[in-house]
């Protein structure tokens, strides 16, 4: 199976997928840690894919999304963004709206606490 096929299968098999350096419990870069931290704190059930385990996936996901950096967040098979975009969406409430629209469970109080702490 090609890297593109593996990526497509992964992003369609789970509602929320984070391609990252490291894992959700052991991120290996600050940007991946920030996005995983937001998702973990908000209680989002997501699949993590460690791009450091497979160079084909690491490059393939950049080609798949036409986005040059890792981490990359997908919701319901659609690319949402990287660290800066996810941070902005979290602070503006857009991430909450996206999760609500797509039926992704998350802790609304936790999301509000993130905004209060960064407001």
pLDDT tens digits, residue range 12-28?
Answer: 999 999 999 999 999 99
User: Please, what sign has the CA dihedral across residues 83, 84, 88, 91?
Assistant: positive
- CATH number of the domain within which 83 lies: 3.40.30.10
pLDDT tens digits, residue range 31-85?
Answer: 999 999 999 999 999 999 999 999 999 999 999 999 999 999 999 999 999 999 9
To 10 degrees, what angle do helices 108-118 and 94-102 make?
Answer: 170
- Given strand 78-81, what is the order of strands in its sheet? 47-50, 16-20, 72-75, 78-81
Range of the domain at 100: 3-118
* Cα–Cα distance for residue pair 84/102, rounded to 1 Å: 21
DSSP summary character for residue 54: -
Domain tally, the chain:
1
* Cα–Cα distance for residue pair 36/81, rounded to 1 Å: 13
83 annotated ligand binder: no
Classify residue 111 by burial, with Cβ atoms within 10 Å: 0-12, 13-18, 19+: buried
pTM listed for this prediction = 0.96
């Amino acid at each position: 199976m090609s890297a593109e096929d593996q990526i497509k299968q992964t992003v369609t098999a789970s509602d929320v997928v984070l391609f990252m350096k490291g894992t959700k419990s052991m991120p290996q870069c600050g940007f991946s840690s920030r996005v995983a931290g937001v998702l973990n704190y908000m209680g989002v059930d997501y699949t993590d894919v460690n791009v450091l385990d497979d160079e084909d996936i690491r490059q393939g996901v950049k080609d798949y999304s036409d986005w040059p950096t890792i981490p990359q967040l997908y919701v319901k098979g659609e690319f949402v963004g990287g660290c800066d975009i996810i941070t902005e969406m979290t602070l503006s409430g857009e991430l909450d709206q996206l999760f609500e629209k797509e039926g992704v469970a998350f802790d609304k109080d936790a999301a509000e606490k993130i905004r209060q702490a960064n407001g």
